[in-house]
Each structure stands twice: as C-alpha cells, then as structure tokens.
Amino acid sequence: MTESRQPPFDRIVFDCDSTLSSIEGIDVLGGEHRAEIEALTNAAMAGEVSLDSVYGKRLERIAPSRLQVATLGRTYVENALPGARELVAGLASLGKEVRIVSGGLHLAVVAFGQWLGLQSLHVHAVKIYFDEHSHYRAFEKTSPLARSGGKRELVQSWETKRTAFVGDGITDAEVRDVVSSFICFAGVVKRDEVAAQADAVIEEPNLAKLVDVLCTDAERARLARDPRQRNLVRLADLPA
C-alpha cells in the first residue's frame, strides 16, 4: 500500500509568484525590457538555453536597484491573493510549519513573507547583491532556486515531514515525488502540464479554498471554533 497523499500535513510550502501574489516579480521589474525578458524565459522553457544562464541574463538586463527590489516587496503585498494572509495564519494556528520557496528575489519575497506573518528563515528565495550605490552587482549563483530542479533539491534537503507543496509552475511540479502532496494553484495561471501532475487543482483565485485540501475535517472544525480564524473559514465557504 502506498503512503496516503491526503492531510494531515506538518509542513505547507508555497510558491510565491502567481500563487500567493498574482504578479510575476521578474516581469514587473522588467519594465521597458519586458519583451526581451519574456523571450529569454521562453528560450529556457524551450530548452534552447539553460535556466541558469537565463536567470543571470535577465537580471543583468534589468539591473534592479535596491529601491526597485524593495518596491517589488510592496507590489507583492498589494497583489496578494484573497485569503493569503488568513490562510497562513490559520495553518500556523494549527501548529504547521509554513514556508515560501521561490525563484524570486529574496529581499522582495522576505518583505512579502513578513506581511504574511512568516519568519524570514522560512522564506527561501535568491539573494542579490548591490554595490555601494545600491545598484545591482550580482545574484547568488550557488542558489538551487536559480536553476531547474532546485525547488525539489531544497525541499529534499530538509528534515523529513509530511509536506504539502502549493504552486503553479513546472519547477513546483518537480517536487511532486519528494512531498506528500503537490497542489496546483491555478487561480492566476493554469498550466495543464502542472495540473496533470497534481493531487488537487484549485482553480479559483481565493487561497482560502486550500483549507479543503490542506486540512482534515477535524482541523477545519478547529479553525471554525477559533474566533481569530473565523474569517478564513468564512472565505473558504464562499461559493465559487
């Protein structure tokens, strides 16, 4: 008999871009270079160039300043999906470890994570370095999150726990066989190849709906009894 891919889970991991927030940070930073940035991304997706080389090229083209990356943190917050903050608080109240694993830029994703109520050590993203004028200098080339298969590699390096992973992209789906459950969040973008690998697919842009796949009935009942989590349960119960 294979291990159940149903709740309860001890650890819940979220992708950031197009999962907790409706934006793609690198596109927002792209500004006037957006078309070129997208072409680089597409070349990597088609296997014409490695993701590693594209990651650096995109950043060198954009060369974001510290201020731009800090502003991106606020843009993530302004575009947070409905229920994001309530869901993170609810899962934490049930004693679950909640983390973000993102190929985005650390400074921005950490700011968003803090707004969601996460400890910064539970936010994993790619660091970038600035010069003395706060101009872009380099990115963390050793980060597994700047290459394909990196999310899987990182999750595998942690202490074993019953883990559910929620995301929208191919690099999220790559974790499928190293976690207890992979959930495709298709509330912003639906990719059929990601949905095909998922244990569950959420098609609504309301993160509170994840309560149904991340929690047992008993956990859901605990949330409903807790006055501080009542708003999460109310959002989860909204009709589609």
CA angle 22, 24, 27 (to 5 degrees): 135
Nearer to Mg ion, 101 or 215 (CB): 101
Nearer to Mg ion, 86 or 168 (CB): 168
Nearer to Mg ion, 43 or 188 (CB): 188
Bridge-based pairing of strands 163-167 and 136-139 is unpaired
User: Please, what is the minimum distance in Å from the beta carbon of residue 171 to Mg ion?
Assistant: 8
Kindly tell me which residue out of 9, 11, 14, 18 binds Mg ion, with binding defined by CB under 5 A: 18
The window from 16-24, 156-164, 208-216, 224-232 that contacts Mg ion (CB under 5 A) reads 16-24
Touching Mg ion, residues 158-217 (CB under 5 A): 168-169
> Under the criterion CB under 5 A, does residue 86 sit at the interface with Mg ion?
no
Size of the site for Mg ion (CB under 5 A): 6
* CA-based radius of gyration for the chain: 18
Question: Which residues bind to Mg ion, rule: CB under 5 A?
Answer: 15, 17-19, 168-169
